[in-house]
Amino acid sequence: MKIIIVGCGKVGATLAEQLNREKHDITLIDSDSDVLQSISDSIDVMCVPGNGAVYQVQMEAGIEEADLLIATTNSDELNMLCCLIAKKAGNCHTIARIRNPEYSAEINYIREEMNLSLAINPELAAAREIARLLRFPSAIKIEPFAKGRIDLLKFRIPEYSVLDNMKVMDVVNKLKANVLICAVERGEDVVIPAGNFIMKTGDKISFIAPHAASAEFFKRAGIENNSVKTAMFVGGGKLTYYLAQSLADTKIKIKIIERDEERCRELSELLPKAMIIHGDGSDQQLLLEEGVTRTEAFASLTGFDEENIMLSLYVSSQSNAKLITKVNKISFGSVIDSLNLGSVIYPKMLTADLILQYVRAMQNSMGSNVETLYKIVADKAEALEFRVSKDAPLLGIPLEKLQLKNNLLVACINRNGKIITPRGKDTIEAGDTVIIVTTHTGLNDLKDILR
């Protein structure tokens, strides 16, 4: 597909890289020629310097032939204007990044009135992910599938766990747990495990299960999983605001440390249930006075990656709190993974994944659409949820008779709300949604699972 991306910040650059890898024809628009030059040095894209909200600039970028325009500049208003002009000039699909909390309550109205295909808010998406983790703290990551009926959870096997040296096939028999282990990360390697695969301490395990079954699995595996009652957040930006708002209906006592006095006043009006503390979150004495050693969850959510990483490392040395670390720069992933930072949240990566999911569904609007996409490990393994169309080529055939690709697992079938853990005799039927876990990244259609 021909895709135009306006704005080459972290989200724009990440998207350009991923969409280019999936063989789309990418054109970038940005007012900074140096930024365009550095991206075009590393990936094969066309670059147009200029203001993406100017009709002539969009025409030069080929808006008339474009299938999709994605506006990811730092200005919500500019993004909306870019999409409005693209709609008139090229009648293509449009996606806008809209981050301002003032717009979030009206996002559906804005989307309908401006005829946007998708409006994305990175901080809101990140806040929802963190809220899920605070309700289920044993998990490093949680991704909902099948409209929230089932989750894909990732956790690290702790020392002295019964899972150490256990075969994957024994999890159901020995622990009597209705879960399906679908991916194992060990060091740099990612494996879709067979039944005789032996798990080890330190492995990161991804499994699929309904809510109740995952809680039961953690309990039987001897992994504590009480939802947190107290949480401390450092940094009072948009993400923290959305997070505190989404936790307002829970009994979690929230403490927010923010160094800007004016922002503290704003937050105390916006979040009456939270305790707002004016101070420097990197001050060890302040953290100790505010009870960092006793808090059950700690999230470092400032705008500086280095500060977030140092804070999480410090708190990990002082307490057993559930740690959440916000990271903006996506480079140095392997270094970050080796540190004890708890759950690492990349708002930019979440945004790129949501857009990628939309692009894959759009690319294949005639076949089995991608409904949900989750990268288990960036560029190494994905979990995809497909909606099965009535003309899919593999309907009614038992799974054991399908010639499936290697390193690919049919992990779950959702049939009218009934969750089926697939066995060899099960079949895929029209109207189902099917979750596929695979190390073959870039699948667009359900038929791509076949050899």
For 400, the token pair is 């054991």
CA distances from 414 to 12, 142, 210, 365, 451 (A): 34, 18, 11, 20, 23
Q: State how far the Cα of 201 lies from the Cα of 176, in Å rounded to an integer.
A: 20
Q: State how far the Cα of 398 lies from the Cα of 88, in Å rounded to an integer.
A: 48
Q: What is the DSSP letter of 162?
A: T
Within the chain, what is the greatest distance between any pair of CA atoms? Answer: 66
Q: State how far the Cα of 246 lies from the Cα of 248, in Å rounded to an integer.
A: 6
What is the DSSP secondary-structure string of 360-392? HHHHTTTSS-EEEEEEEETTTEEEEEEEPPTT-
pLDDT at 436: 93
Question: Tens of pLDDT along 109-134?
Answer: 988 888 898 899 989 999 999 999 99
pLDDT at 332: 66
What pTM, to 2 d.p., does this model score?
0.84
pLDDT at 331: 65
Question: Tens of pLDDT along 326-351?
Answer: 998 766 666 777 788 889 998 888 88
CB atoms closer than 10 angstroms to residue 74: 11
Residue (of 134, 82, 69) closest to 342 by Cα position: 134
CA distances from 289 to 19, 279, 293, 294, 301 (A): 47, 12, 9, 10, 20
Q: State how far the Cα of 257 lies from the Cα of 260, in Å rounded to an integer.
A: 9
pLDDT at 49: 95
For 251, the token pair is 């009994």
**Residue 242 CB-half CA count within 13 A:** 23
Alpha helices in 74-195 (DSSP H): 76-90, 101-104, 107-113, 122-135, 170-175
Alpha helices in 183-283 (DSSP H): 211-220, 238-246, 261-270
Q: Could you tell me how far CA 306 lies from the centroid of its own chain?
A: 21
CB 82, CB 6: distance < 8 Å: yes
pLDDT at 221: 86
- The pLDDT tens digits along the chain (451 residues) read 899 999 998 889 889 988 998 889 999 999 999 999 999 898 889 999 999 999 999 999 999 999 999 999 999 999 999 999 999 898 899 999 998 888 888 888 988 888 898 899 989 999 999 999 998 888 888 888 887 888 899 999 988 889 999 999 998 888 888 889 999 999 888 999 988 999 999 999 999 988 778 888 888 888 877 778 999 999 999 999 999 999 988 889 999 999 999 999 999 999 999 999 999 999 999 999 999 999 999 999 999 999 999 999 999 999 989 999 999 876 666 677 778 888 999 888 888 888 888 888 776 654 567 777 787 776 788 888 888 888 888 889 999 998 888 999 999 999 988 888 888 899 999 889 999 999 988 788 888 888 8
Q: State how far the Cα of 239 lies from the Cα of 322, in Å rounded to an integer.
A: 18
For 385, the token pair is 């949820």
Q: Strands 2-6, 25-30: parallel, antiparallel or unpaired by DSSP?
A: parallel
What's the chain's length in residues? 451
Q: State how far the Cα of 395 lies from the Cα of 319, in Å rounded to an integer.
A: 52
Residue (of 14, 71, 66, 17) closest to 45 by Cα position: 17
**Residue 445 CB-half CA count within 13 A:** 16
pLDDT at 315: 95
CA distances from 15 to 29, 55, 99, 191, 439 (A): 13, 23, 17, 26, 20
Question: Tens of pLDDT along 236-290?
Answer: 999 999 999 999 888 899 999 999 999 999 999 999 999 999 999 999 999 999 9
For 132, the token pair is 């899920």
